[in-house]
Structure 1
Amino acid sequence: MLKGLKITHFNPSPTWITLSLLCFLSIAVLNPLQAQEPQIRKNNDGETLIVYPDGSWQYYSDYLSGKKERNPADMATYPIFEGTIEPLDGNIKVTEDDLYKIAERRSQLADEAAKIAQLRWEKAQEARAQVEKELQQVLSTGQATQEVIAQLNMRLKAATRAEQESQIEAQDAHRESNRADMLIEKGGFVDAYKAEQKKRMESQASRRDAYKARSYDQALPLTDNYVGINQQDLILNPPTAPCGVAFEGMDSKSGNYRKDLDQQFLFSHTDDRLRVYLKDKEYLRCEGYFSANGGYRYLMLEFTFAYPNAREAYGFIEKGSILTIMMLNGDYVNLRSGVMDRGSYDTETELLTYRVHYPIDRSQMNYLKNSEVDAIRVFWSSGFEEYEVFQLDFFSNQLRCID
């Protein structure tokens, strides 16, 4: 034993332990990076990485396999998000992982649009080359009439213009695809989401202002367009739509009385990146109806995609996933799916369809019956997406008929 060295045994008191713990927590609060979780990012090669607050990283596959080795921080930085993300209606928490899934889905859609645009450009090049070849063949014979040559020149001019337009579309699509990829790689998708949410709130406020203005118009004196003893205005108060019933009788599975209303259009949506390529088709179309089975009521929704690769981008709808119905007055109703659906693809129609039912209680039905819907938020496995509703009286008409 060394001389002069006094060894004592330290028995920490409860007070000392408390003070030490407070000091540790203070350090964690003052240095939030230490308390942050690792985040998912992608590099230039499209590989998924796990990035830690100190800048070190490892491949996602290594992370899943439990490997501890990390690569040191280098010039290719992948920023960790610092800040807060506002919850959705109903205090539904939005995490960075949710926004990452949405960004990844949008990146897939942008990549798909770029591939389609590139293919269209290549076909336009082939078409222009074919017309040029025909023109050269006609000119080489020396026997073509001026009318034939003029027609071929017109075709060549049109084919050249189509090629130039498709080239511009392809270049724009590739730029958008690169921008979407960079949002994932550099972690800018959170800020992009916040900017989009701000625009959405402004658009929603504009629609609500229009709704309030329309409500004021309904209080104006009646026009000459009225009928009946009480002089009901047919423009401001149109007659109620007739109830269409698709099925009413004994349910073969449950043995209960069942009533299904006619399916009606609810909304449609086409991603801006794909709109130019789908021509007159809508990328997503949603129809629905209400069903009564015994003492239960259900909102039955059918989501149909006119593009088979939509499953790769959107994934599936999980059982218990949220459907938020947002009103023009700012209120909302949250429903949860009663079944998981991965979508079914029809090879003949080339349509991908998801069919989901959402149980709904009496109080929610009564509220929706007397409200007008503004938008619907659907939670896919790849993240949520909001859709503006065009059939504003869908719920009021259907719920009036299901009782």
Structure 2
Amino acid sequence: MYSPSGSGVATKTGANSRVFVFEVEGMRQGSDSDKLTYPIRRSGRVYITVPYERMNQEMRRISRMGGRIVNIRPCNGTPSAESTASGNGLQSQQSGEQKKPMTQAKAKTEVPVNIYKPKSPFMGKCLSNEELVKEGGTGTVRHLTFDLSGGDLHYLEGQSIGIIPPGEDANGKPHKLRLYSIASTRHGDNLDDKTVSLCVRQLEYQHPETNETVYGVCSTYLCNLEPGADVAITGPVGKEMLLPDDEDATIIMMATGTGIAPFRAFLWRMFKEREQNPDYQFKGLAWLFFGIPYTANILYKEQLEELEQQFPENFRLTNAISREQQNPDGGKMYIQDRIKEHADQLWQLIQKPNTHTYICGLKGMEGGIDEGMSAAAGKFGVDWMEYQKQLKKEHRWHVETY
């Protein structure tokens, strides 16, 4: 645990013992969100010494309180010539003073895991429960947002949380948790670091013996959850689907149905939170392939199309609408057909060292994706399956299917 010394410099030693100085403008006092011990100046600039492992948390706090990070530099423990360190780790400078620009430093994000476990889950509250499927679509898919205030549950884009439905199973034991991909950014849909959102489809299938309709226990519980109701949450978990810190990366996303959840989090962080994220300004290319049965089942349709219009150089959206579109062979248009259609271009992108590919949704989509990429790679004498193994070793091929 981090414990500041009298000079404001962390006393922790080891690989993460590095300390950085944040130069911040416009910081205001916020008693409800200021959870750290640093005093806040109302005018001018402040200099905050921050240990390496808490940089991301401090960036969020500064953003919440209206501050703007001007520069970040490594701290060697010696005050700079232009400012004097105070006893609490802050350094001050009058607003009108001129100073040399400092090199911006990027902090490696610490991945939170299992903050809350099944035996002691966090009890959140449902804030909202909204239907995402439009008239004419199939099934029900809900966007749920939970209140996390009062706890320490925080997460990153690409992680999952567990939900423990109330009641008991057929054997009289408490229901086990179900994992759901998080659909919101680390700041939450309200941008206050106090919420988490899910995209949940109600599971429905025919019993193979009785032929009666069976509904999923947890998905039905969540889809029918009323605002204000308590919900038991565990986690977060997962490191496979994390978004890279590289702002110039190429991010290829392939999703079916509610597999869009982590990609909504990615896209919202890339494009909808640009003003709130001084530490992350995406300038690369994000390409989403999305498979659904009907146009009415395109989840977050209006928001995705808006992003496509606002950021035409940085975001592409390619839908595969199986019941309304046909592939070149006259069959239904599935996501693997779209991959085959764009395989040559995807092959060129995937060869870039900062390209990451993510697959989330039905497991059946993987075979078609491999087939399309094999054809493209084969034109250059490359064995796709071997090449894919290399991508996995480089942590650039991310898969989470079911």
TM bin, normalised by shorter chain, reads under 0.3
Relative to the length of structure 2, the TM-score reads: 0.22
Relative to the length of structure 1, the TM-score reads: 0.22
